[in-house]
Amino acid sequence: MSMDYYHTLIAVADDCPVAESVVPESHTGKKTVAVLQYELLAGSPHVYSQEDVLFEAWLRRQDIPEASEAEVAQLRKEFFAKPQPCLRASPLPKKYGWGFSFDERGTVALCPMESAEYQQLLADDTVKVHQALRSSRG
């Protein structure tokens, strides 16, 4: 079963701490999930599906030497054998002010919360809007 979204906006969380989108940075030597997801999507809008983004970010955080296509396919199968949180749980819309815009093919692009495009997507009755998950319970 696919976990991808179609013609959907994942809107910034209600409790997002920023007023406009911020590029995530790594403060340690290892790239964070936010940095990896941003790097995947910033230069390649509407190339990756949600599943691609989730798996690629996970794979890049693993310390796996060059893997063959067959090994990567097996790792992907194992990764999705367990339930995975969707991009609503990503730090990008929760903490950094980036929405996710999904097209009719299920591919995703970053959408800055301060952009005209973001406001248009929020107002478009044909676009499904899902809020990103809140960081706090309150």
The full set of domain ranges for the chain reads 8-131
Rounded-to-integer distance, Cα 109 and Cα 62, Å = 24
Residue 4 predicted with pLDDT over 90: no
Which residue from 28, 40, 29, 19 is spatially nearest to 90, judged by alpha carbons? 40
**Which tops the pLDDT comparison, 1 or 120?**
120
What pLDDT digit, counting tens, does each position of 47-97 carry? Answer: 999 999 999 999 999 988 888 999 999 999 999 999 999 999 999 999 999
pTM over 0.95: no
Under a CB-based contact definition with an 8 Å cutoff, are residues 113 and 12 in contact? Answer: yes
